[in-house]
Amino acid sequence: MSSSILPTKIYYRVWIALLALLFLTWGLAEIDLGPFNNIAALSISFAKMILVVLFFMHVRYEKPLTWIFVTAGLIWFLIMVDLTLSDYLTRGDVPGTRQTWRHSQTQPPTLQPNTRAAQR
């Protein structure tokens, strides 16, 4: 495997960019963007992932075969996320559990002490 030698200046720039994205993530957690919070957070994490894969894993300077395997890994990850979300989002509330009253305005049912055990 032949790897190209990168100047340390590039590594420092990537590290500073990752730190900036880290602080941007922290700042995003402090403000409320409503439904756009998830989109912004995922965009920032995608940018961090790209920097790590391209520079720290040296994929940017590798042969096309490496790019094929990286793409295959990303596609496999997306398939796993899709299967997990399709399972999670199609589940209904299970009767008799906390999920049935979770979104209602009423308080959860409380357990009443056993009157026979309390009399003894």
Quick one: pLDDT at residue 116? 63
Task: Tell me how many degrees the CA angle 86-104-81 measures, rounded to the nearest 5.
Answer: 15
Summarised one tens digit per residue, pLDDT across range 22-47 is 999 999 999 988 889 989 999 999 99
Summarised one tens digit per residue, pLDDT across range 49-59 is 999 999 988 88
Contact 84, 42 (CB under 8 A): no
The answer to whether the predicted template modeling score (pTM) of the entire model surpasses 0.85 is: no
Task: Name the strand (E) or helix (H) holding 70.
Answer: helix 64-89
pLDDT-derived band of residue 3, with 50, 70 and 90 as boundaries? Answer: low
- Cβ-proximal residues to 108 (8 Å cutoff; 6+ apart), any chain: 98, 101
Annotate 2-32 with DSSP letters as a single string: --PPPPHHHHHHHHHHHHHHHHHHHHHHHS-
Is the pLDDT at 103 greater than 80? The verdict is no
% residues pLDDT > 90 (the chain): 50
